[in-house]
Structure 1
Amino acid sequence: MSENRVPVIEVESLRITIDGAAVVDGVSLTVAPGECVAIVGESGAGKSLTARALLGLAPRRAAVTADAMRVGGTDVRGLDERGWRSVRGARVALVAQDALVALDPLQRIGSEIAEPLRLHARAGGALRDRVLALLRRVWMPDPERRVRQYPHELSGGLRQRALIASALAAGPAALIADEPTTALDATVQAKILGLLREIADAGTAVLFISHDFAAVRLLADRVLVMRDGEIVEEGAVAEVLEDPQHPYTRQLIAATLHEPREAGDAGGETVASVERVSVAFAGVPAVVDASFDVRQGTTLGIVGESGSGKTTLARVLLGVQAPDTGSIRWNGTHRVQFVHQNPLGAFDPRWSVGRSLHEALAAGGVPRAERRERVSALLGEVDLDPSLARRRPSELSGGQRQRAAIARALAANPDVLVLDEPVSALDPSVRERVLRLLHRLQRERRLTMVFVSHDLDVVAAVADDVLVMQGGRIVEQGAVAEVFAAPQHPFTRELLAASGVRRP
Structure 2
Amino acid sequence: MSVLLKLTNVAVYVGDTCLLEPISLELKQGEPLTILGQTGSGKSLLAQAIMGLLPDNLSLQGDVEVFGKALTLEQRQALWGRDLVMLPQEPWHALDPLMKGINQVAEVYQHVQGKGHHDALVYAQQDLLDVGLADSAHKRPGQLSGGMAQRLAISAATAGGAHVILADEPTKGLDVSRRDGIVRLLQSRSIEGSLLTITHDVAIARQLGGTLLVMKQGRLVEQGEATQVLDYPKDDYTRELISAEPSAWHDITPSIREDSAEAILVADNLSLARGGRVLFDGLSFSIKQGEVVGIVGDSGCGKSSLGDALLNLLPISAGSILRSNKTAKPHQWLKLYQDPPSAFSSSVSLGQLLEDLILLHGIDTDRIAPLMDRLSLPHGILERNCLAVSGGELQRFAILRALLLDPVFLFADEPTSQLDPITAKEVTALLVELAREAGCAVLLVSHDAALIQKLVIRLFRYK
Match of 1:238 in 2: 227
Contact 2:38 2:423 in 1 (8 A): no
* 1:114 counterpart SS class: helix
Are positions 1:21 and 2:17 aligned together?
Answer: yes
TM-score, L = length of structure 1: 0.71
> What are structure 1's unaligned runs of at least 5 residues?
362-370, 471-504
Measured after TM superposition, the shift of residue 127 of structure 1 is: 6.8
**Residues 461-491 of structure 1, C-alpha deviation per residue, up to 9 Å, x if partnerless?**
3212111124xxxxxxxxxxxxxxxxxxxxx
Match of 2:65 in 1: 70
Contact 1:301 1:459 in 2 (8 A): yes
Q: 1:42 aligns with which of 19, 38, 41?
A: 38
Match of 1:356 in 2: 357
Q: Aligned pair in 2 of structure 1 residues 338, 246: CA closer, same or farther (>3 Å)? A: farther
> What are structure 2's unaligned runs of at least 5 residues?
none
Measured after TM superposition, the shift of residue 262 of structure 1 is: 8.9
Measured after TM superposition, the shift of residue 447 of structure 1 is: 4.3
Are positions 1:268 and 2:264 aligned together?
Answer: no
Measured after TM superposition, the shift of residue 173 of structure 1 is: 2.7
Measured after TM superposition, the shift of residue 301 of structure 1 is: 0.6
Q: Aligned pair in 2 of structure 1 residues 324, 28: CA closer, same or farther (>3 Å)? A: same
Q: Aligned pair in 2 of structure 1 residues 76, 213: CA closer, same or farther (>3 Å)? A: same
Match of 1:490 in 2: none
Q: Which has the higher Rg, Structure 1 or Structure 2?
A: 1
Match of 2:460 in 1: 467
CA distance in 2, matches of 1:170, 1:323: 41
CA distance in 2, matches of 1:157, 1:316: 20
Q: 2:366 aligns with which of 348, 359, 376?
A: 376
**AA aligned opposite 2:164:** A
Q: 2:166 aligns with which of 149, 156, 176?
A: 176
Worse overlay, 253-262 or 139-148: 139-148
CA distance in 1, matches of 2:131, 2:369: 49
TM-score, L = length of structure 2: 0.76
Q: Aligned pair in 2 of structure 1 residues 252, 418: CA closer, same or farther (>3 Å)? A: same
Q: Aligned pair in 2 of structure 1 residues 261, 227: CA closer, same or farther (>3 Å)? A: closer
Match of 2:76 in 1: 84
Worse overlay, 85-94 or 45-54: 85-94
Are positions 1:252 and 2:265 aligned together?
Answer: no
Worse overlay, 306-315 or 344-353: 344-353
Are positions 1:449 and 2:449 aligned together?
Answer: no
CA distance in 1, matches of 2:133, 2:311: 40
Contact 1:287 1:312 in 2 (8 A): no
**Residues 183-208 of structure 1, C-alpha deviation per residue, up to 9 Å, x if partnerless?**
444433332122113334x3431000
CA distance in 1, matches of 2:442, 2:196: 39
Q: Aligned pair in 2 of structure 1 residues 31, 127: CA closer, same or farther (>3 Å)? A: farther
Which structure 2 residues correspond to residues 212-227 of structure 1 after superposition, within 5 A? 212-227=201-216
Measured after TM superposition, the shift of residue 232 of structure 1 is: 0.9
Match of 2:87 in 1: 95
**AA aligned opposite 1:65:** Q
Q: 1:341 aligns with which of 336, 342, 350?
A: 336
Contact 1:93 1:176 in 2 (8 A): yes
Contact 2:133 2:148 in 1 (8 A): no
CA distance in 2, matches of 1:439, 1:315: 21
Measured after TM superposition, the shift of residue 248 of structure 1 is: 2.4
Q: Aligned pair in 2 of structure 1 residues 230, 117: CA closer, same or farther (>3 Å)? A: same
Contact 1:353 1:393 in 2 (8 A): no
Contact 1:340 1:422 in 2 (8 A): no
Q: Aligned pair in 2 of structure 1 residues 335, 312: CA closer, same or farther (>3 Å)? A: farther
Measured after TM superposition, the shift of residue 179 of structure 1 is: 2.0
Match of 1:129 in 2: 119
**Residues 182-235 of structure 1, C-alpha deviation per residue, up to 9 Å, x if partnerless?**
2444433332122113334x3431000123223323334222112232211112
**AA aligned opposite 1:191:** G
Q: Aligned pair in 2 of structure 1 residues 267, 331: CA closer, same or farther (>3 Å)? A: farther
Q: Aligned pair in 2 of structure 1 residues 141, 455: CA closer, same or farther (>3 Å)? A: closer
**AA aligned opposite 1:48:** S
Measured after TM superposition, the shift of residue 26 of structure 1 is: 2.0
Measured after TM superposition, the shift of residue 403 of structure 1 is: 4.5
Measured after TM superposition, the shift of residue 14 of structure 1 is: 1.7
**AA aligned opposite 2:333:** F
CA distance in 2, matches of 1:393, 1:58: 15
Contact 2:255 2:436 in 1 (8 A): no
Match of 1:228 in 2: 217
Pairs aligned (count): 438
**AA aligned opposite 1:275:** D
Q: Aligned pair in 2 of structure 1 residues 325, 131: CA closer, same or farther (>3 Å)? A: closer
Q: Aligned pair in 2 of structure 1 residues 128, 71: CA closer, same or farther (>3 Å)? A: farther
* 1:244 counterpart SS class: coil
CA distance in 2, matches of 1:426, 1:331: 33
* 1:129 counterpart SS class: helix
Match of 1:366 in 2: none
* 1:250 counterpart SS class: helix
* 2:52 counterpart SS class: coil
Contact 1:113 1:165 in 2 (8 A): no
CA distance in 2, matches of 1:350, 1:13: 35
Contact 2:87 2:153 in 1 (8 A): yes
Calculate percent identity across the aligned residue pairs.
26
CA distance in 2, matches of 1:166, 1:332: 46
Which structure 2 residues correspond to residues 423-502 of structure 1 after superposition, within 5 A? 423-470=416-463
Q: Aligned pair in 2 of structure 1 residues 352, 65: CA closer, same or farther (>3 Å)? A: closer
Worse overlay, 39-48 or 135-144: 135-144
Q: 1:57 aligns with which of 50, 53, 56?
A: 53
CA distance in 2, matches of 1:151, 1:312: 16
**Residues 395-433 of structure 1, C-alpha deviation per residue, up to 9 Å, x if partnerless?**
9953662443243332x7x4x544333333344433322
CA distance in 1, matches of 2:316, 2:139: 33
**Residues 365-405 of structure 1, C-alpha deviation per residue, up to 9 Å, x if partnerless?**
xxxxxx75xx53586478569xx8xx789599536624432
CA distance in 2, matches of 1:140, 1:442: 41
Match of 1:481 in 2: none
The two structures, once aligned, show a CA RMSD in angstroms of 4.2
* 1:340 counterpart SS class: strand
Higher RCO, 1 or 2 (CA under 8 Å, sep at least 6)? 2
Measured after TM superposition, the shift of residue 244 of structure 1 is: 2.4
Contact 2:254 2:436 in 1 (8 A): no
**AA aligned opposite 1:76:** A
